[in-house]
């Protein structure tokens, strides 16, 4: 399944991604902004991803900032695609936090990521969860094949126009009126939506230590 989570800073995109990812027993999190502290295995690059996936439940790759982020993302995709190909029955979730930093606004995504996307049909053992601030941060090609689009509050007219074009005027209007930490889930296959108004239902912490309140993005 492919899930794209869209919304402004502070609404809980990364927190929701972490909550959704927990459904899978094996998780790889590409985290260029250093938001996730949910596992002890935090890697600066992907050199050990393939080997560690055989023994660790969750790996976090934090490549830092700068021009190397997109290259690091491509290599994570390569390592993960190899592992998926060698372990076709294993359930795994790939979280890509901050899509624009990984270059996903471009149509020319890494070939290994494209292969993972095409392998992530609904019901397959591969889940991909992508977070971003605006619809334009993820290419139309990805949004078109996503199984679920999740919208936190969006106010920019150009962004609402994109949502209306894909999901219809009713969804765009409801997204515009959302309160803090409420979101709309759009089912691309069934062309249906639902409102999630209670943030307590998906509250998790992005820290390894208990925290009070929500983790701000």
pLDDT of residue 214: 33
CATH number for the domain whose boundaries are 2-202:
3.40.50.300
**Per-block average pLDDT, block size 10, for the chain (217 residues)?**
94 95 96 92 92 95 84 96 96 96 92 96 92 96 96 95 97 96 96 96 77 35
| Count of CA atoms in the C-beta half-sphere (13 A) of 95 | 31
| Count of CA atoms in the C-beta half-sphere (13 A) of 152 | 21
pLDDT of residue 121: 84
What 3-state DSSP class applies to 167? helix
Q: How far is CA 19 from CA 16, 22, 86, 101, 194, in A?
A: 5, 5, 27, 22, 18
Q: What's the pLDDT tens digit per position in 136-163?
A: 999 999 999 999 999 999 999 999 999 9
pLDDT of residue 68: 85
């Amino acid at each position: 399944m492919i899930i794209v989570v869209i919304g402004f800073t502070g609404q809980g995109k990364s927190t929701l991604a972490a909550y959704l990812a927990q459904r899978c027993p094996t998780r790889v999190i590409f985290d260029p902004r250093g938001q996730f502290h949910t596992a002890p295995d935090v890697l600066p690059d992907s050199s050990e991803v393939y080997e560690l996936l055989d023994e660790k439940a969750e790996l976090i790759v934090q490549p830092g900032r700068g021009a190397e982020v997109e290259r690091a993302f491509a290599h994570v995709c390569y390592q993960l695609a190899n592992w998926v190909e060698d372990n076709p029955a294993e359930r795994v979730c790939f979280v890509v936090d901050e899509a624009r930093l990984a270059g996903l606004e471009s149509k020319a995504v890494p070939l290994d990521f494209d292969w993972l996307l095409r392998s992530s049909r609904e019901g397959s053992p591969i889940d991909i969860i992508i977070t971003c601030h605006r619809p334009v941060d993820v290419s139309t090609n990805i949004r078109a094949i996503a199984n679920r689009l999740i919208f936190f509050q969006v106010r920019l007219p150009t962004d609402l126009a994109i949502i209306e074009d894909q999901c219809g005027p009713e969804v765009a209007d409801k997204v515009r009126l959302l309160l803090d930490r409420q979101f709309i889930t759009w089912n691309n296959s069934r062309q249906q939506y639902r409102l999630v108004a209670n943030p307590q239902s998906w509250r998790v912490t992005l820290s390894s230590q208990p925290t009070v309140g929500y983790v701000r993005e």
